[in-house]
């Protein structure tokens, strides 16, 4: 094996070990375990409440298990973002708070490997949350309306079950873009803080700043020309946390028998550009934070 490939082999092996160690630490940390249990309980209780409201009040009822699941996962992704944000803040902040960074950094682990491993662990945490939400939403959708091929009002089959699951898979992958940007912000904040409380409080304030500004009706727009067409991007779109609902909006249409011809719509492109830019900034800042900082012991 050449020196270069040996080096990259060692890099991935070390990152894998760090991620494994992180998962062991998190699975024994009550706050994280309770966080996931809370997300599960809220997902189940919320789905039951949604069904009750649909049945009791005059409102658009879900016409299929998929419709119900997609409606509900939209809500889950909305409410769970602050939970996930705080949990990912803890992921790095617990190392600083317990002074265990010095244990890690006096082993054959570089700071770059350390921060990359935290990003991968954060991705696993986000995927675990999405898995819980999909599992609960689809189960409840099946329970109340049944799954199987999607049919329209005249009982004609619109999409097969496989098609539905494939599209939901794509939507989930796209949802990772804004959710991982939120995770990057959490890791950046916690890589600069010296206490867990500080990381959580400051991180939460920054998160809420983006959340609140996203709902302010700012009228200014930026015109962008793409594929010979001019698109207008409202300034409030730059408050990226709200971008997390965009992939689900397309899934929402799918549940009404509207075919998704392309996922690469302007909505998704703008989401990718905005979140990508923010992710890059947060990633570089967290890298610099971990690399340059002298963690006071």
Partner 1 sequence: MSQQAVLEARELTKFFGEIEAVKDLSLTVNRGDIYGFLGPNGAGKTTSIRMMLGLIKSTRGVSRVFGHDIHAEFKSAIPNVGAMVEGPAFYPYMSGRRNLRILGRLSGGVPEERIDEVLDLVGLKKRGNHKVKGYSQGMRQRLGIAMALLHNPPLLILDEPTNGLDPQGMREVRNLIRRVRDEENVTVFLSSHLLGEMEMICDRISIISNGAIIKEGWMDELVGSGSDVVVVNVSPHESKECMEFLKDKFNASPEMVRQGVIEFNRDDVQTYDLNKALIEAGFRVSSLTTRRRSLEEYFVELTGESKDVN
Binding site for partner 1 (CB under 8 A): 10, 17-18, 20-21, 24-25, 28-30, 94, 98-100, 102-110, 294-295, 297
Residue whose CB is less far from partner 1, 27 or 55: 27
Smallest separation, CB 2 to partner 1 (Å): 17
Residue whose CB is less far from partner 1, 14 or 64: 14
Residue whose CB is less far from partner 1, 1 or 60: 1
CB 96 within 8 A of CB 295: yes
DSSP per position, 108-132: S--HHHHHHHHHHHHHHHHHHHHHH
Residue whose CB is less far from partner 1, 8 or 156: 8
Which residues 6+ apart lie within 8 Å of 294 measured at CB? none
Residue whose CB is less far from partner 1, 100 or 160: 100
CB 244 within 8 A of CB 77: yes
Q: Which two tokens stand for residue 50?
A: 């949604």
Smallest separation, CB 98 to partner 1 (Å): 6
Residue whose CB is less far from partner 1, 1 or 28: 28
Rg (CA), the chain: 21
Smallest separation, CB 69 to partner 1 (Å): 36
Residue whose CB is less far from partner 1, 75 or 113: 113
Which residues 6+ apart lie within 8 Å of 284 measured at CB? none
Q: How far apart are CA 178 and CA 9, in angstroms?
A: 30
Smallest separation, CB 31 to partner 1 (Å): 9
Smallest separation, CB 58 to partner 1 (Å): 50
Smallest separation, CB 182 to partner 1 (Å): 25
Residue 141 C-beta-side C-alpha neighbours within 13 Å: 22
Q: DSSP secondary-structure letter at 242? A: G
Q: How far apart are CA 151 and CA 163, in angstroms?
A: 13
Q: How far apart are CA 98 and CA 77, in angstroms?
A: 31
Q: How far apart are CA 33 and CA 51, in angstroms?
A: 27
Smallest separation, CB 105 to partner 1 (Å): 6
Smallest separation, CB 164 to partner 1 (Å): 41
Residue whose CB is less far from partner 1, 4 or 294: 294
Nearest-5° Cα angle at 283, 278 to 285: 95
């Amino acid at each position: 094996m050449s020196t270069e490939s040996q080096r990259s082999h060692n890099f991935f092996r070390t990152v894998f070990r760090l991620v494994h160690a992180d998962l062991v630490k998190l699975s024994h940390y009550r706050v994280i375990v309770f966080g996931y249990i809370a997300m599960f309980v809220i997902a189940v209780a919320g789905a039951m409440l949604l069904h009750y409201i649909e049945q009791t009040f005059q409102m658009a009822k879900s016409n299929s298990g998929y419709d119900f699941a997609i409606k509900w996962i939209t809500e889950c992704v909305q409410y769970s973002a602050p939970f996930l944000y705080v949990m990912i803040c803890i992921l790095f902040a617990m190392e600083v708070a317990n002074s265990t960074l010095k244990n890690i950094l006096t082993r054959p682990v570089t700071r770059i490997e350390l921060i990359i491993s935290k990003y991968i662990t954060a991705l696993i945490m986000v995927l675990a949350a999405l898995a819980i939400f999909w599992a609960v939403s689809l189960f409840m959708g099946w329970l109340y309306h049944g799954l199987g091929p999607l049919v329209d009002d005249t009982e004609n089959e619109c999409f097969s079950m496989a098609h539905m699951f494939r599209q939901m898979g794509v939507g989930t992958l796209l949802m990772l873009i804004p959710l991982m940007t939120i995770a990057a912000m959490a890791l950046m904040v916690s890589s600069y803080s010296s206490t867990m409380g500080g990381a959580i409080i400051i991180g939460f304030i920054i998160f809420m700043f983006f959340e609140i500004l996203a709902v302010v009706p700012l009228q200014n727009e930026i015109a962008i020309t793409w594929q010979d067409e001019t698109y207008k991007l409202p300034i409030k779109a730059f408050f990226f946390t709200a971008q997390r609902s965009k992939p689900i909006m397309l899934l929402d249409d799918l549940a009404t028998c509207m075919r998704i011809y392309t996922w690469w719509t302007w909505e998704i492109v703008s989401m990718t550009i905005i979140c990508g830019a923010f992710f890059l900034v947060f990633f570089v800042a967290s890298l610099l934070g971990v690399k340059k900082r002298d963690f006071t012991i």
